[in-house]
Amino acid sequence: MYSDLLQALPAVVGFSNFAAVVIGVLAGIVVGAMPGLSATMAISVLVPFTFGLEPLVALGLMAGIYNGAMYGGAIPAVLLRIPGTPAAVATTFDGYPMAQKGEGGFALQVAVVSSAIGGIASAFALMLLAPPLSKVTLLFGPSEVFWVAVFGLASIIFLLGGNPVKGLISACFGVFVSVIGSDPIYGNDRFTFGQLEMLDGISIVILLVGLYALPPVIDLLETPLKTDGIESSQLGTEPIWKAIPRMKGFWKTWLRSSVFGIWIGILPGAGGSMAAFMSYNEARRNSKHPERWGEGEPEGVAASETANNADTASALIPALTLGIPGTAVAAVMLGGLLVHGLQPGPMLFRENPGIVFGFMWQFLFGAILLILLGGSLATNSFARLLILPRPLLGSVIIVLMLIGVYSIHGRMFDVYLMLGFGAIGWVMDKLKFPLPPVVLGLILGGFAEENLRLALRIGRGDWGVLFQNTTSLVLVALTVAVVVGPIVKRRLTDRRKQSGM
């Protein structure tokens, strides 16, 4: 399996594939540096434009954007105390005080080096852990794959966000969207409402763009917050090769935070924010000078930025092998894989080894490129982006979305559908309904239906076929644990509160 990893390397270092990673990292830093925008939104807007590209070029852009955006979020977090991405909230604790003391340049250098180290560790984790796990999943039959899909849905519903009921409603909406179109076995129309355009079902791209890209743009236009640009002279930036020796004492924090980020990235429903907070608290607890934290301690920036980049590639370990994304970005990237004919899950590594292993290399190169592309010169330039008017930025993104969606099939129906999903996504966002379960419902809904019907055909209609082997029973037990666990935990917490303990 690891020989396939080495064989995929020559294709990745080709000009077009490598250039895609470089462009993706630069674009990701720009997106991350703009408060209100995110990697999820950027990849959603990008996907329609990748139809005509080679899969590795498209995936290289996505991997670059993901890596770049996770660092880019640190720029406004340090300079303005406004986290560019949710995962950069913990970076504000010490990054902004450093900027106030005239050490903003060093804070950003710490952020970019730490982000690169976290991203590199995460890419290696993806390379080392995903191949053996995929071998195990190749042993799965239709009934086991059905239970994997159910487990994935349950994980996202009950582990993501604080309200399982809202998560369940979101997932049901996604599953409903997945059954729109022609029945895959009998060919009957389902919920097409007489629209010929819906016979082939709802495109995952249209759903992604509508749900993830439109709501944040509406928010940008709603709250045109004016931000002040930062002059380069105010940053106190020095060349990165001079800054790195000042970080030699951070290796324990880098190591610990990388482990935290990788571990949390693998867990479905967690994510970079949780990794950053946990890592920050643990680093502070182990510090010799905890009283300095919150006052401009560079190690605090290192802990946060290492962890929130270490969950990037690792979140794809369950996504690529089982079809269960660890984060919202990973859910969107699953959609990107589907667009290029790559079905995440047990067969992905067998049917498309060159592409999937090349994708892993692109994550590693994207992380390494962060140091080169996010250095002093680039950081100064990206900091100036904060002066861009938000209405202008929002208008440009909307035009890109409309062009991208229309170019898929050349029809206005898709544009109207995207706007409809955008309105639904905006309402769901305001009402605090989680969006990842919708995407996962669309992806896993069809996956679960297909394998359930196949298993029942093999078992000649006997539902007992779903419980006939140990693997299925283990997956059922895990699903029950995911559903019951939070309920039991909440009741125990309530009981402790009532007893005053």
| pLDDT for position 424 | 92
Judge whether 204 and 445 are in contact, CB under 8 Å.
Answer: no
Q: Mean pLDDT, 10 residues at a time, over the chain (501 residues)?
A: 76 86 88 74 80 85 87 79 71 82 82 90 88 74 83 71 78 88 80 81 80 79 57 60 79 89 73 74 81 84 88 82 73 79 75 84 89 69 64 79 79 89 89 81 80 85 84 86 76 72 54
Residue 372: C-alpha distances to residues 235, 379, 498 (Å):
18, 11, 55
What 3-state DSSP class applies to 314? coil
Give me the numbers of helices (H) and strands (E) for the chain, helices first please: 26, 2
Residue 368 CA to residue 18 CA, distance in Å, equals: 12
| pLDDT for position 121 | 92
Q: CB under 8 Å, gap of 24 or more: what pairs does 179-182 form?
A: 179/445, 179/446, 179/449
| pLDDT for position 357 | 87
Phi-psi region of 81 (alpha: psi -120 to 50; beta: other; left: phi over 0): left
pLDDT tens-digit map of 85-124: 667 778 888 888 887 787 878 888 888 899 899 999 988 9
pLDDT tens-digit map of 309-358: 888 888 888 888 877 776 677 777 877 888 787 877 767 777 788 888 88
Residues composing the chain? 501
Q: What tokens does 174 get?
A: 């996604």
- Domain residues of the chain, as ranges? 1-223+240-499
Which residues are bridge partners to 190 per DSSP?
181
3-state SS track over 461-484: CCHHHHHCCHHHHHHHHHHHHHHH
Nearest to 315 by CA among 55, 493, 118, 448: 118
**Which residue is associated with the tokens 């990973």?**
330
| pLDDT for position 229 | 47
Backbone angles phi, psi at 71, to 5 degrees: -80, -45
Nearest to 315 by CA among 259, 274, 265, 263: 265
| pLDDT for position 225 | 54
How many other CB atoms are found less than 10 A from the CB of residue 139? 9
Residue 284 CA to residue 293 CA, distance in Å, equals: 7
